[in-house]
């Protein structure tokens, strides 16, 4: 096998991830989630997430090493999510990564969580073409990026002006009485619903920008459901879920295709938790095919947060022999998407 063996550590939200990658080969992907501990609050509780990361950190790394059949002594570099994310949660991963790097005497790469969501696709579909347009849709971010080099240059073309796409899923799920996180249950409920049943608004659809807005859509769904309930009528959960999901997928794919056209790029990669959505994947497939754009979307398990994505980006940096981050690397909860690695 070619290239350095990279351990990736992810703790930006509620998943403790440890992954091992060499080149573009995924050797291990151990993820421990604290999502069950947050479910009754309807959202991630930062303090609870931090404590869960502390408990899961070293067992997750040990599990990844065992999966790959290697030991810590075989690891050539450590990569860790330095931001963006929850400050306390990030700190656990960053502290652990520093400890591993220091004791092993290996380079440390503090990387951007968002670039890692893009880089992970290389584990499944090989090297990313340059440039590529990336649609990044997660619980905290919705962005369109021009990526000349995932390990070096990421340019922001547009982003949400209010809620992230995943946040809208989570809030709409709550309105519909579905569990947290809302993406998977809405995806499931929508399968038996009519996506054309309710014409929900599509924010910023015609404004010509590459920005998104999902707050109006979320409010429109809540109003529609409240009015229905006030009249004593049952809420058609499947139809509401399908119509909401259609509005989200429609705007995201329309703007992603527009970004490709505007920048003359014929490859689109989609990453982040919402990229696991079945309707988004299908509609993106249709619209990219019609526009002559090659679409790359990692399998759903690699779209949601994991350590393999951090290792994938770390592998890109380490393979090129790029300098690492200092051992006093800070966790930066609002690390800008353009900063791929913290130096």
Under rule CB under 6 A, residue 90 binds ligand KG4: no
Under rule CB under 6 A, residue 163 binds ligand KG4: no
8, 107, 140, 314: residue in contact with ligand KG4 (rule CB under 6 A) = 140
| In the complex, least distance from residue 144 CB atom to ligand KG4, rounded to whole angstroms | 16
Residue 68 and residue 312: Cα distance in Å, rounded?
A: 15
| Interface region with ligand KG4, contact rule CB under 6 A, candidates 65-73, 90-98, 266-274, 327-335 | 266-274
Under rule CB under 5 A, residue 138 binds Zn ion: yes
Tally the residues of the chain: 343
Element (DSSP H or E) covering residue 216: helix 215-230
Are the C-beta atoms of residues 144 and 157 closer than 8 Å to each other? yes
Under rule CB under 6 A, residue 166 binds ligand KG4: yes
- 277-310 burial: b if 16+ Cβ within 10 Å, else e: bebbbebbeebbeebebebbbbeeebbbbbbbbb
Residue 118 and residue 310: Cα distance in Å, rounded?
A: 10
Under rule CB under 6 A, residue 203 binds ligand KG4: no
| In the complex, least distance from residue 176 CB atom to ligand KG4, rounded to whole angstroms | 13
Under rule CB under 6 A, residue 183 binds ligand KG4: yes
Neighbouring CB atoms inside 10 A of 336's CB total 12
| Interface region with Zn ion, contact rule CB under 5 A, candidates 39-47, 131-139, 162-170, 293-301 | 131-139
Q: In what order do the strands lie in the sheet with 77-83?
A: 25-33, 15-22, 5-10, 77-83, 108-112, 341-342
16, 60, 112, 277: residue in contact with ligand KG4 (rule CB under 6 A) = 277
| In the complex, least distance from residue 343 CB atom to ligand KG4, rounded to whole angstroms | 23
| In the complex, least distance from residue 162 CB atom to ligand KG4, rounded to whole angstroms | 15
Distance, C-alpha 121 to centroid of its chain: 11
Q: Of the two residues 4 and 273, which places its CB atom closer to ligand KG4 in the complex?
A: 273
10, 29, 305, 332: residue in contact with Zn ion (rule CB under 5 A) = 305
Under rule CB under 5 A, residue 15 binds Zn ion: no
């Amino acid at each position: 096998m070619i290239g350095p063996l990279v351990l990736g550590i992810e703790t930006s939200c509620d998943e403790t991830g440890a992954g091992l990658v060499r080149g573009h080969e995924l050797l291990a992907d151990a993820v421990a989630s604290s999502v069950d501990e947050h479910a009754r609050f309807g959202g991630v509780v930062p303090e609870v997430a931090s404590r869960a990361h502390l408990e899961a950190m070293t067992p997750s790394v040990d599990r990844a090493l065992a999966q790959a059949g290697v030991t810590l002594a075989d690891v050539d570099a450590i990569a860790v999510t330095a931001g963006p994310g929850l400050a306390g949660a990030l700190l656990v991963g960053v502290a652990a990564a520093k400890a591993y790097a220091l004791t092993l005497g290996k380079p440390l790469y503090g990387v951007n969580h968002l670039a890692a969501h893009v880089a992970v696709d290389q584990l499944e579909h090989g090297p990313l073409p340059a440039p590529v347009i990336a649609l990044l849709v997660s619980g905290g971010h919705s962005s369109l990026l021009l990526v000349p080099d995932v390990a070096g240059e990421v340019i922001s073309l547009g982003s949400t002006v209010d809620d992230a796409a995943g946040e809208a899923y989570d809030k709409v799920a709550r309105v519909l009485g579905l569990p947290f996180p809302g993406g998977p249950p809405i995806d499931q409920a929508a399968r038996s619903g009519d996506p054309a049943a309710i014409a929900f608004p599509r924010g910023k659809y015609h404004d010509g920008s590459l920005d998104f807005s999902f707050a109006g859509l979320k409010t429109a769904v809540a109003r529609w459901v409240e009015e229905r309930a006030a009249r004593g009528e049952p809420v058609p959960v499947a139809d509401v879920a399908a119509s909401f999901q259609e509005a989200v997928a429609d705007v995201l794919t329309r703007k992603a295709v527009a970004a490709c056209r505007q920048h003359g790029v014929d490859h689109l990669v989609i990453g982040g938790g919402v990229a696991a959505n079945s309707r988004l994947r299908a509609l993106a497939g249709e619209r990219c095919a019609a526009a002559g754009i090659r679409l790359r979307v990692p399998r759903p398990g690699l779209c949601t947060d994991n350590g393999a994505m951090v290792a994938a980006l770390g592998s890109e940096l380490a393979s090129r022999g790029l300098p690492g981050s200092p051992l006093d690397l800070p966790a930066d909860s609002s690390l800008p998407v353009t900063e791929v690695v913290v130096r």
